[in-house]
Structure 1
Amino acid sequence: MKFRILIILFLAVVSCKPPEARYPVTQNSGSYIDQSVQRNKQLLSQEEAYIQEIIEQDSTRNYIASNSGFWYFYNQKNTDSINTEMPEFGDIVVFDYNISTLDGQPIYAEGEKPTKEYAVDQEKLFSGLREGLKLMKEGETVTFLFPSYKAFGYYGDKAKIGTNVPITAKVTLHSINTETNNESNN
């Protein structure tokens, strides 16, 4: 009996060692991510060069470079000194837009997209348009040139716009219902 207890005690002491870490069979060095970053930088560089080429060839318009990485020009500018408000967080804006390629081929023609009501920065909208609307005043029509990362990026819109397609969007801002107006109407 003592012998069995000694064996059980011995096995218990020997088997109580800390667990050993299991290491992966293969290790990735992150080279795929590095390659992806390089591809994206190259793609952006090509798109920006193409947009600059378009701008240089068009001497009839005054293009403005935004701080957000896209370009735009006014088709119709609001020169009214009274109405100078631009949309801010929470404001409700009503606008129309159409989308075409940088070459001018329509993707979504004028009137194909319904008039949209949008709560600024509170609803989904592609990043370029979301930022572009904040640069507009009521009654203005602006044409934006978006590199693909500011448009629909890698995924496209899953309908007519494919992967990494830079676009032109012509936007008309019909009205801005400011957050203070929203609160007083409730």
Structure 2
Amino acid sequence: MKKIFWFLPVIIFSCTKQPVHPPVGSVLSQKDLQVSKDRSRSLYELERKQITDWIAQQNKKYYVNGLGYWIDKDLSQNLKRKDGERLSYQYEIYDFDRVKIYDEPKTAKDVYLGKFEDLKAVDDALRYLKPGEEATLLVPSLLAYGTYGDNDKIPNDMPLIIKLTVTH
């Protein structure tokens, strides 16, 4: 009898229509693009609520910015760095249970703003942080590794906590 109850949900869920995701780089129809856009908007709103609920339980103040991530520094008074400025930085990635995802921090030495590719939130925060300054970013999945993850330890649709340090 227990086998039937275990098997029944498998049958039900396997029969439901699952969305088809085309391979990366393929062409999508307007309808598919709208479905993707609606899914992203819905996911972002859900994560935004989850992150604001998480912030409400913290002892620290976080500031949301125009790009859509939160940072524990008020950067409104800081000057924005321009493309071409050289800097070095590192960051550690955590999930919202504060579990460190990678043992070693991601580092970049002597890179030029606007000439490297990193997470959108990291790139944006680097433009306002001064050398030696540290910040904690709360990043929705859309601004992190999105619907694909990083093909390693970060799964799809995972919001992240990023501890960023400008070293030079």
Could you say whether these structures have the same fold, taking a TM-score greater than 0.5 normalized by the shorter chain as the test? yes
CA–CA separation in structure 2 for the residues paired with 1:72 and 1:103: 17
The count of aligned residue pairs is 137
CA–CA separation in structure 2 for the residues paired with 1:135 and 1:170: 15
Q: In the alignment, what sits opposite 1:128?
A: 121
> Helix, strand or coil for the counterpart of 2:142?
helix
Q: In the alignment, what sits opposite 1:72?
A: 71
Match of 2:94 among 87, 97, 100: 100
Q: In the TM superposition, what is the alpha-carbon distance from 1:69 to its structure 2 partner?
A: 0.7
CA–CA separation in structure 2 for the residues paired with 1:42 and 1:143: 25
Task: Write out aligned runs for 1:44-63 (5 A).
Answer: 44-58=44-58, 60-63=59-62
Q: Identity of paired residues, percent?
A: 27
CA–CA separation in structure 1 for the residues paired with 2:95 and 2:53: 14
The structure having more radius of gyration, on CA atoms, is 1
Q: In the TM superposition, what is the alpha-carbon distance from 1:88 to its structure 2 partner?
A: 2.2
Q: In the TM superposition, what is the alpha-carbon distance from 1:29 to its structure 2 partner?
A: 7.7
State the TM-score, normalizing by the size of structure 1.
0.67
State the TM-score, normalizing by the size of structure 2.
0.73
Give the CA RMSD over aligned residues: 2.2
**What amino acid is aligned across from residue 153 of structure 2 in structure 1?**
K
Unaligned runs of 5+ in 2: 1-27
| 2:34 is aligned with 1:34 | yes
Could you tell me whether the CA contact under 8 Å between 1:86 and 1:134 is conserved in 2?
yes
CA–CA separation in structure 2 for the residues paired with 1:67 and 1:99: 22
> Helix, strand or coil for the counterpart of 1:95?
strand
Could you tell me whether the CA contact under 8 Å between 2:69 and 2:137 is conserved in 1?
yes
